[in-house]
């Protein structure tokens, strides 16, 4: 496995929220989706995914529900709450400002 | 809405922790299974696929822990498990638990009991609607020293005030009820029509007084207390409208008060206050007790300004106008004023007790922590952080404190019952609210707060010390080399305990010495075998001097004939029966002469002095021959004789008294007697024969060879035989009166003394515990010493010296603290100063002796150490 890019603090939260904005998913699916969508650049370590999910649930940005997975097994599905939707907008805006600012610095015109 | 989800999750992890854990497990296991599936699909053999997946997850248990931490309810989980674990640990050391909970229960119990008294007397509002608007009105700064409001001022205020909702005035008035069974003297009030409306009281039956009834010439009407209505009228509703006889006049009953109505002691009868023109504007103006209800939103300052204006506008012209300032105080302040001191002293005392109890428990916890040191060290080695260990130990102490609080509440509840039963009337304020002392929500809140505070107080020192265990030395067997800083905490705690109990004991000692001093004051009469009772002759049946004298002579002759009676005498007011009649006069009879007085004036029967047992110093007592027809005579008390005729023989001298028909001759000098109580200053006293000057009041003193109370019925019968409508009241032995006069003092002594003893007991227990602990800890060392030839005495000295050094330190600090603190109780002391050396020395000796004993007992056990066993125990 190539060395995965480490995620900045808080970025994982943003990615999780973004994934869940599409549709409710369980932890495994979130990890896979992040991996695929980033062309395998971003690999979410299991060590950080589940604590992050539980923290977001505790913050009431996402909520959990048990459901049946595509492999016909019980899995815990997370979905975005309205507070989470607002948080996603806010965080996205912040991220964009931040990445623009960083780009300006490291790629001077 | 977010907080609802958060709360729901929090409650879930608290109460459904097993299910939450199971779900976490399922969730992670699902992930693991998917990983395995993926690996299998990649063509790995099953065993390897599983192994690789596990590796990728990096340890399921660790992931779970991280998730639990991420939820942020970890501390709650910990708390729950700590609280679940703690009782088990406590049950394993029952003697520790018992002593700790008992200490705390005592500390918290007395605090709760005293706080419930403070709550009932100072914090609870008065039992009237909108009590915050009730104000007491009086005047200050008047040159005649009177603070009551004049009748005319009251009338002007009630007519013209705009800032007051209602204003009320009253006077105390005792009335004799006749015509229904035996005549009875009843305590009552004359009240203005606004009295009940101002307080916001409505009648149980009937109605309030009308304003037409509360004026001169108005109809005589009366309102009864419920207890009187039950006792004398069989709770008949038909009593309304019925006519009863009070002081030989007909009164129509118009109302009955509700049972909870309470205002200034036990009163049973209310009649309208009807001031005639003479009382309003004449020479002898009525003086009234006055209070009012402010209009909503009106401040006291605004009301004072308005009342001042009204007073000067209407009264400047009246000849008897006296300069003064109107003063308004919240009624609550007026009623409980002056009781703060005792309650504050008690609150301070119980707070000290709680600190001593906490120090005790802290010491026990320290000793226990030493035993558990290894356990804590293992936990720390396994990764429990310092805060985790502190939290665990605080949870334990919190639980201990709550246990103590539970037992303390039971104790407090019984203490409040005892407090209510033994407190003399009026100790805690003019209104008898001791009965209302109870444990309500506020008291419960206080108890909870006190217990949590003490939990932190005794839990924090050991927790902070032992949460940073020295791993290597603690894990090694014994680990006795690391005790020194803990030893210091222990010593500080012990010194604190001793010092605080010294303060309390000195306080109690000063009260005890004062009490003894009061008891040692000679009252000036003999109180044994003396029955006393009061008779008030109404003006209607006894309008003149001759009839009063005849009644008294007849009665005294008749009572003297009762078997067992030795002497029967009477005087207007016996010592300790209430208000004195006060007179002032000038030494030479001219208006500008030397002012004598105030002097207590007593109108006495010939046998009065013999019956009371007052010693004659010189001259003679009154005789039957001193009558209205002979020249006036008087007897002086010793102190008055010294004022009037210093260094001379007063017998035969004339005193220019204005209120007799000529200047009387002094015929005798008697001992001073205590008038209001043995701790009050002696008042000079002047006696005139009842036969030469009389009013309708008399107190009988009957000396007998029998138990005095047994004569009461016989004497009452003699009175009724002479006048069937004449009640006697206030029947008591002189002994009871003397006893009653020191009751508040005894009550204070009992409370503070009890608390001080409790403090001593706790502190002695603390010393005992610490020395016992030292002895066990150093058994090894003692064994070596003894093996090397130390004798029992040397070992004993080793521990006793150590304990006594600390005790001496505590005593010194306590004495210094007491020097500063006892000043607050100076006004409660009698015959000694707040820094009475004897008390201080005695308390120091007592404390040193008690701590010596508390050191000696465990130290003796050390001498019994078998050197072989002690040395081998390593």
| 3-class secondary structure, B182 | coil
Give the pairing of strands B685-689 and B633-637: antiparallel
* Closest listed residue to residue B214, CA positions, set B198, B194, B196: B194
Q: Using CA atoms, how far apart are residues B1 and B826, in angstroms rounded to an integer?
A: 61
Give the pairing of strands B221-224 and B249-256: parallel
Q: Residue B648 to residues B642, B643, B645, B653, B669: CA-CA distances in angstroms? A: 8, 10, 5, 10, 12
Candidates A45, A57, A81; nearest CB to B9: A57
Q: Regarding the domain delimited by A11-106, which CATH topology (the fold level of the hierarchy) does it fall under?
A: Arc Repressor Mutant, subunit A (1.10.10)
Query: What's the pLDDT band for B476 if we cut at 50, 70, 90?
Result: low
Comparing A67 with B281, the larger pLDDT belongs to A67
* Closest listed residue to residue B181, CA positions, set B123, B126, B232, B120: B232
**Which letter, b or e, does each residue of B144-167 get, where b requires 16 or more Cβ atoms within 10 Å of its Cβ?**
eeeebbbbbbbbbbbeebebbbbb
Give the model confidence (pLDDT) of B303-314 as tens digits.
999 999 988 887
Beta bridge partners of B586: B595
pLDDT on residue B426 = 60
Read off the pLDDT of each residue in B333-358 and give the average, rounded to a whole number.
85
Contact of A37 with chain B, judged by CB distance below 8 Å, is answered with: no
Token representation of residue B383: 């990764």
Query: What's the pLDDT band for B483 if we cut at 50, 70, 90?
Result: very low
Distance of CA B297 to the CA centre of its chain: 34
Across the interface, whether the CB atoms of A27 and B31 are under 8 A apart is answered yes
pLDDT on residue B769 = 85
**Which letter, b or e, does each residue of B731-744 get, where b requires 16 or more Cβ atoms within 10 Å of its Cβ?**
bbbbbbbbeebbbb
Comparing B855 with B3, the larger pLDDT belongs to B855
Residues from chain B contacting residue A73 (CB–CB below 8 Å): 30, 33
pLDDT exceeds 50 at position B431: no
pLDDT on residue B430 = 44
Q: Is residue B598 within a helix (H) or strand (E), and if so which, with residue range?
A: strand B595-604
| 3-class secondary structure, B687 | strand
Residues from chain A contacting residue B67 (CB–CB below 8 Å): 50-51, 53-54
Residues from chain B contacting residue A80 (CB–CB below 8 Å): none
Read off the pLDDT of each residue in B156-174 and give the average, rounded to a whole number.
91
pLDDT on residue B870 = 67
Token representation of residue B174: 């005792």
Q: Using CA atoms, how far apart are residues B347 and B615, in angstroms rounded to an integer?
A: 45
pLDDT on residue B454 = 87
Across the interface, whether the CB atoms of A73 and B30 are under 8 A apart is answered yes
Q: Quote the radius of gyration of chain A (alpha carbons, Å).
A: 15
Q: Using CA atoms, how far apart are residues B831 and B737, in angstroms rounded to an integer?
A: 22
Task: Give A88 to chain B, closest Cα distance, Å.
Answer: 15
pLDDT exceeds 50 at position A2: no
CB A60 within 8 A of CB A1: no
Comparing B663 with B384, the larger pLDDT belongs to B663
CB B257 within 8 A of CB B301: no
pLDDT on residue B432 = 46
User: Could you give the dihedral angle defined by the CA atoms of residues B409, B412, B416 and B419, in that order, rounded to the nearest 10 degrees?
Assistant: 180
Across the interface, whether the CB atoms of A50 and B1 are under 8 A apart is answered no
Distance of CA B423 to the CA centre of its chain: 8
Instruction: Name the one residue in this structure whose structure tokens are 């309205």.
Output: A82
Burial of B212 (0-12, 13-18, 19+ CB in 10 A): exposed
Read off the pLDDT of each residue in B763-789 and give the average, rounded to a whole number.
83
Task: Give A47 to chain B, closest Cα distance, Å.
Answer: 6
Question: B300 CB contacts (<8 Å, ≥6 apart)?
Answer: B135, B294, B328
For the entire predicted model, the pTM comes to 0.76
Q: Using CA atoms, how far apart are residues A88 and B179, in angstroms rounded to an integer?
A: 92
Size of interface A-B (CB pairs under 8 A): 74
* Closest listed residue to residue B298, CA positions, set B164, B183, B151: B164
Longest CA–CA separation in chain B, Å: 141
Across the interface, whether the CB atoms of A76 and B30 are under 8 A apart is answered yes
User: Could you give the dihedral angle defined by the CA atoms of residues B767, B772, B778 and B783, in that order, rounded to the nearest 10 degrees?
Assistant: 130
Contact of B60 with chain A, judged by CB distance below 8 Å, is answered with: no
Q: Using CA atoms, how far apart are residues B302 and B294, in angstroms rounded to an integer?
A: 10
Burial of A9 (0-12, 13-18, 19+ CB in 10 A): exposed
Task: Give A100 to chain B, closest Cα distance, Å.
Answer: 31
pLDDT exceeds 60 at position A18: yes
Residues from chain B contacting residue A12 (CB–CB below 8 Å): none
Contact of B25 with chain A, judged by CB distance below 8 Å, is answered with: no
Contact of B308 with chain A, judged by CB distance below 8 Å, is answered with: no
Contact of B5 with chain A, judged by CB distance below 8 Å, is answered with: yes
pLDDT exceeds 60 at position B461: yes
Question: Which chain A residue lies closest to B57 (C-alpha atoms)?
Answer: A46
Across the interface, whether the CB atoms of A51 and B5 are under 8 A apart is answered no
pLDDT on residue A105 = 85
* Closest listed residue to residue B725, CA positions, set B246, B28, B288: B246
CB B501 within 8 A of CB B712: no
| 3-class secondary structure, B490 | helix
Q: Using CA atoms, how far apart are residues B331 and B395, in angstroms rounded to an integer?
A: 46
Q: Using CA atoms, how far apart are residues B360 and B395, in angstroms rounded to an integer?
A: 18
* Closest listed residue to residue B267, CA positions, set B309, B226, B296: B226
How much helix, strand and coil, in percent to the nearest 5, is found in chain A? 55, 15, 30
Name the range with the highest mean pLDDT among A96-105, B90-99, B154-163.
Answer: B154-163
Window from B157-161, B223-227, B436-440, B806-810 with minimum mean pLDDT: B436-440
Residues from chain A contacting residue B70 (CB–CB below 8 Å): 50-52, 54-55, 58
pLDDT on residue B565 = 93
Peptide bond between residue B598 and the one before it cis (omega within 30 degrees of 0): yes
pLDDT on residue A35 = 82
Across the interface, whether the CB atoms of A60 and B6 are under 8 A apart is answered yes
pLDDT exceeds 80 at position B316: no
| 3-class secondary structure, B534 | strand
Task: Give A97 to chain B, closest Cα distance, Å.
Answer: 27
Q: Which of residues 17-36 of A touch B (CB under 8 A)?
A: 26-28, 31
Q: Where are the domains of chain A?
A: 11-106
Percentage of chain B lying above the pLDDT 90 cut: 42
Q: Using CA atoms, how far apart are residues B763 and B368, in angstroms rounded to an integer?
A: 19
pLDDT on residue B91 = 83
Candidates B23, B69, B70; nearest CB to A76: B23
pLDDT on residue B562 = 93
Question: A35 CB contacts (<8 Å, ≥6 apart)?
Answer: A42, A43, A44
Q: Using CA atoms, how far apart are residues B118 and B110, in angstroms rounded to an integer?
A: 12
Residues from chain B contacting residue A83 (CB–CB below 8 Å): 1-2
Q: Using CA atoms, how far apart are residues B458 and B460, in angstroms rounded to an integer?
A: 6
Read off the pLDDT of each residue in A1-17 and give the average, rounded to a whole number.
67
| 3-class secondary structure, B28 | helix
Give the model confidence (pLDDT) of B442-457 as tens digits.
889 999 898 888 888 8
Residues from chain A contacting residue B75 (CB–CB below 8 Å): none
Name the range with the highest mean pLDDT among B258-267, B634-643, B780-789.
Answer: B634-643
Percentage of chain B lying above the pLDDT 70 cut: 93
pLDDT on residue B330 = 92
pLDDT on residue B368 = 81
Burial of B508 (0-12, 13-18, 19+ CB in 10 A): buried
Comparing B410 with A43, the larger pLDDT belongs to B410
Q: Which of residues 44-103 of A touch B (CB under 8 A)?
A: 45-47, 50-55, 57-60, 63, 66, 69, 71, 73-76, 81, 83
Q: Residue A34 to residues A11, A38, B855: CA-CA distances in angstroms? A: 12, 6, 73
CB A84 within 8 A of CB A20: yes
Q: Is residue B64 within a helix (H) or strand (E), and if so which, with residue range?
A: helix B60-71
pLDDT on residue B479 = 43
User: In whole numbers, what is the pLDDT of chain B averaged over residues?
Assistant: 86
In B182-274, which ranges are E strands? 184-191, 205-206, 221-224, 243-246, 249-256, 269-272
Comparing B118 with B375, the larger pLDDT belongs to B118
Instruction: Name the one residue in this structure whose structure tokens are 């000290």.
Output: B352
- Angle formed by the axes of helices B340-371 and B373-381, to 10°? 70
Read off the pLDDT of each residue in B89-117 and give the average, rounded to a whole number.
89
Contact of B65 with chain A, judged by CB distance below 8 Å, is answered with: no
pLDDT exceeds 50 at position B280: yes
Candidates B6, B28, B31; nearest CB to A58: B6
Query: Residue ranges of the alpha helices (H) in B467-483?
Result: 471-475
pLDDT exceeds 80 at position B371: no
Candidates A27, A55, A60; nearest CB to B27: A27
Give the count of beta carbons closer than 10 Å to the beta carbon of residue B271.
Answer: 22
Give the model confidence (pLDDT) of B525-540 as tens digits.
999 999 999 999 988 8
pLDDT exceeds 70 at position B103: yes
Interface probe, candidates A58, A61, A64, A73, chain B, greatest B C-beta count within 10 A: A58
Query: What's the pLDDT band for B481 if we cut at 50, 70, 90?
Result: very low
Give the model confidence (pLDDT) of B550-561 as tens digits.
999 999 999 999
CB B537 within 8 A of CB B702: no
pLDDT on residue B601 = 92
pLDDT on residue A3 = 47
Query: What's the pLDDT band for B195 if we cut at 50, 70, 90?
Result: very high
Query: What's the pLDDT band for A7 if we cut at 50, 70, 90?
Result: low
Read off the pLDDT of each residue in B750-762 and give the average, rounded to a whole number.
92
Query: Residue ranges of the alpha helices (H) in B119-241?
Result: 151-160, 195-199, 226-233
| 3-class secondary structure, A23 | coil
| Backbone dihedral region for residue B573 (phi beyond 0: left; psi -120 to 50: alpha; all else: beta) | beta
Give the count of beta carbons closer than 10 Å to the beta carbon of residue B608.
Answer: 29
Task: Tell me which DSSP letter residue B532 carries.
Answer: E
Token representation of residue B868: 């072989």
Interface probe, candidates A51, A65, A72, chain B, greatest B C-beta count within 10 A: A51
Q: Using CA atoms, how far apart are residues B412 and B311, in angstroms rounded to an integer?
A: 50
């Amino acid at each position: 496995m190539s060395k995965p890019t480490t995620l900045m603090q808080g970025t994982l939260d943003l990615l999780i929220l973004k994934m869940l904005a599409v549709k409710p998913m369980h932890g495994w699916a979130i990890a896979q989706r992040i991996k695929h969508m980033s062309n395998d650049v971003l690999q979410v370590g299991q060590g950080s995914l589940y604590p992050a999910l539980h923290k977001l649930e505790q913050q009431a940005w996402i909520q959990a529900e048990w459901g049946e997975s595509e492999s016909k097994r019980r899995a815990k599905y997370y979905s975005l709450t309205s507070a989470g939707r607002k948080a996603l907008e806010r965080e996205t805006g912040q991220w964009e400002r931040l990445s623009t600012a960083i780009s300006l610095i490291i790629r001077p015109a | 809405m977010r907080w609802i989800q958060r709360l729901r999750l929090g409650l879930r992890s608290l109460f459904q922790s097993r299910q939450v854990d199971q779900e976490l497990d399922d969730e992670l296991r699902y992930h693991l299974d998917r990983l395995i599936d993926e690996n299998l699909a990649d063509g790995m053999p099953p065993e390897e696929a599983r192994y690789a997946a596990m590796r990728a997850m990096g340890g399921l248990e660790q992931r779970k822990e991280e998730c639990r931490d991420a939820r942020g309810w970890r501390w709650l989980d910990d708390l729950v498990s700590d609280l679940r674990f703690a009782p088990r640990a406590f049950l394993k050391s029952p003697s520790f638990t018992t002593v700790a909970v008992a200490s705390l229960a005592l500390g918290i119990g007395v605090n709760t009991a005293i706080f419930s008294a403070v709550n009932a007397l100072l914090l609870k509002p008065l039992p009237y609607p909108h009590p915050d608007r009730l104000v007491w009105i009086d005047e200050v700064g008047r040159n005649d020293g009177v603070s009551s409001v004049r009748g005319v001022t009251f009338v002007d205020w009630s007519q013209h005030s705009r800032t007051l909702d209602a204003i009320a005035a009253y006077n105390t008035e005792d009335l004799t009820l006749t015509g229904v069974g035996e005549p009875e003297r009843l305590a009552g009030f004359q009240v203005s029509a606004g009295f009940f409306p101002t307080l916001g009281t409505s009648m149980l039956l009937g109605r309030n007084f009308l304003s037409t009834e509360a004026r001169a010439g108005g109809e005589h009407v009366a309102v009864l207390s419920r207890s009187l209505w039950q006792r004398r009228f069989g709770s008949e509703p038909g009593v309304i409208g019925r006519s009863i006889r009070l002081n030989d006049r007909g009164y129509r009953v118009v109302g009955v008060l509700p049972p909870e109505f309470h205002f200034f002691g036990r009163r049973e009868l209310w009649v309208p206050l009807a001031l005639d023109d003479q009382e309003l504007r004449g020479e002898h103006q009525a003086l009234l007790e006055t209070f009012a209800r402010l209009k909503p939103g009106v401040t006291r300052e605004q009301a004072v300004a308005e009342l001042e204006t009204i007073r000067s506008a209407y009264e400047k012209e009246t000849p008897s106008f006296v300069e003064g300032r109107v003063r308004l105080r919240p009624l609550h302040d007026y009623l409980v004023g002056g009781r703060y001191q005792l309650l504050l002293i008690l609150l301070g005392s119980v707070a000290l007790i709680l600190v001593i109890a906490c120090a005790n428990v802290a010491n026990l916890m320290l000793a226990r922590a030493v035993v558990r040191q290894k356990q804590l060290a293992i936990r720390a080695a396994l990764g429990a952080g310092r805060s985790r260990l502190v939290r665990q130990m605080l949870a334990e102490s919190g639980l201990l404190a709550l246990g103590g609080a539970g037992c303390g509440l039971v104790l407090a509840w019984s203490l409040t019952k005892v407090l209510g039963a033994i407190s003399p009337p009026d100790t805690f304020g003019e209104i008898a609210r001791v009965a209302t002392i109870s444990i309500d929500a506020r008291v419960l809140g206080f108890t909870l707060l006190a217990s949590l505070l003490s939990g932190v107080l005794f839990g924090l020192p050991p927790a902070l010390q032992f949460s940073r265990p020295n791993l290597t030395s603690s894990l090694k067997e014994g680990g006795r080399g690391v005790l020194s800083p803990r030893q210091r905490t222990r010593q500080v705690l012990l010194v604190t305990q001793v010092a605080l109990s010294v303060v309390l004991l000195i306080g109690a000692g000063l009260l005890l010495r004062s009490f003894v001093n009061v008891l040692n004051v000679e009252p000036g009469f003999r109180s044994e075998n003396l029955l006393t009772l009061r008779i008030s002759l109404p003006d209607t049946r006894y309008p003149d001097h001759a009839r009063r004298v005849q009644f008294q002579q007849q009665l005294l002759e008749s009572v003297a004939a009762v078997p067992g009676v030795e002497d029967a005498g009477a005087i207007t007011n016996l010592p300790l029966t209430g208000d004195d009649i006060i007179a002032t006069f000038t030494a030479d009879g001219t208006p500008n002469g030397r002012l004598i007085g105030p002097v207590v004036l007593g109108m006495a029967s010939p046998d009065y002095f013999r019956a009371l047992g007052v010693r004659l110093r010189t001259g003679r007592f009154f005789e039957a021959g001193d009558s209205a027809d002979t020249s006036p005579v008087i007897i002086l008390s010793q102190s008055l004789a010294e004022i009037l005729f210093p260094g001379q023989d007063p017998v035969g001298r004339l005193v220019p008294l204005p209120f007799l028909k000529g200047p009387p001759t002094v015929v005798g000098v008697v001992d001073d007697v205590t008038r209001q109580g043995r701790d009050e200053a002696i008042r000079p006293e002047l006696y005139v024969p009842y036969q030469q000057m009389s009013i309708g009041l008399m107190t009988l003193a009957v000396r007998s060879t029998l138990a005095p109370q047994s004569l009461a019925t016989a004497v009452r019968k003699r009175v009724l035989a002479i006048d069937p409508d004449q009640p006697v009241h206030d029947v008591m032995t002189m002994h009871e009166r003397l006893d009653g006069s020191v009751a508040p003092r005894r009550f204070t002594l009992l409370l503070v003394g009890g608390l001080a003893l409790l403090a001593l007991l706790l502190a002695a227990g603390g010393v005992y515990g610490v020395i016992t602990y030292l002895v066990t800890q150093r058994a090894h060392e003692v064994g070596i010493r003894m093996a090397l030839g130390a004798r029992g005495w040397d070992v004993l000295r080793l521990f006793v010296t150590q304990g006594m050094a600390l005790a001496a330190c505590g005593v010194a600090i306590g004495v210094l603290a007491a020097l500063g603190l006892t000043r607050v109780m100076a006004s409660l002391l009698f015959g000694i100063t707040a820094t009475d050396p004897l008390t201080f020395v005695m308390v120091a000796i007592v404390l040193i002796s008690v701590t010596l004993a508390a050191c000696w007992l465990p130290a003796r056990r050390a001498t019994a150490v078998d050197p072989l066993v002690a040395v081998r125990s390593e």
